[in-house]
Amino acid sequence: MRLPTRVDEHSAEATFNNGVLEVSFEKSDDAADIDLA
């Protein structure tokens, strides 16, 4: 999945609750484009 803005890929945090996976990143202007499959 392509994200709408650049993010710091090293800041990823994830939680799983009631069958829902939530992943959050901090925004960054210097991060490389990443694709999540």
DSSP 37: -
Whether pTM > 0.85 for this model: the answer is: no
Each residue's pLDDT, cut to its tens digit, for the chain (37 residues) gives: 788 888 888 899 999 999 999 999 998 866 456 667 6
> Is residue 15 within 8 Å of residue 8, measured between CB atoms?
no
Distance CA 6, CA 30 (A): 8
Which tokens is 18 given? 């009631």
Distance CA 17, CA 36 (A): 21
